[in-house]
Amino acid sequence: MRYIPKVSHESVEENHRHFMERVSIFKKRGFDFSRSLRFVLKKAEPLHGSILEIGTGTGHTMLALAKAGYKFTSIDKDKDTLKIAALNLAYAKLLPLVEFHAMDGKKLKFKNSSFNNIIAVSVFHHISSVEKMLIEIDRVLSKNGKIVFADFNSKGMAIVNSVHKHEGRVHECTDASKEKIFSYFHGLGYDMDRYNSKSHWVIIGKKIIRK
């Protein structure tokens, strides 16, 4: 379902204050969202053609992509986080670059081979039955398309968990390991590379269809 955000000047400003406060908390604990995402996007370049971001969240990756000039589609099943992400884009005056959909990554409503690039950052640790999402990603990715995946390594996850604990919340994680994800696409014949940053592991793959 297409999500059309409703924004006002007041909601944009208030959201930005809260968003930057949380960014500051993470930075004080040793996690810099901007630096980590610059590393991921540098490894992912070039990104040609259509882009699907799975797992909008509150919009960190989305903002990095939009600020780099990309126009793309972003999905998340949580409308509350979609609203936050849209408000963050509106603050940066980049809202027209992104088409939002309220959608589950395990049940994508797009046709086969719809996108040239699929990006999922800091998403997989939230996903149970990750194989369903991996199947869907392969289905909607075009021939010679690119996957760009990243998630928290042990150091990054420790920081995330500490922030959630500070906020009185529990950060729930699944067993969607990088090894499982890498092995799945490698088994399909993708050309695969992997990297590590201070806080993330990164997987880049190209969909090669060999006759």
Distances (CA, A) of 93 to 5, 59, 66, 89: 14, 14, 10, 6
Closest to 13 (Cα-Cα) out of 108, 115, 91: 91
Whether the CB-CB separation of 106 and 133 falls below 8 Å is answered with yes
Q: Which segments of 8-153 does DSSP mark as H helices, in order?
A: 9-28, 33-44, 60-67, 79-91, 130-140
2-206 belongs to CATH 3.40.50.150: yes
- The whole-number pLDDT of residue 174 equals 64
Dist. CA 55–CA 121, nearest whole Å: 7
Q: Do 40 and 200 touch, CB atoms closer than 8 A?
A: yes
pTM over 0.85: yes
**All structural domains of the chain with their residue ranges:** 2-206
Host H or E run for residue 53: strand 51-54
Low-confidence ranges of the chain (pLDDT < 50): none
Give the per-residue pLDDT at 123. 93
pLDDT at position 165: 83
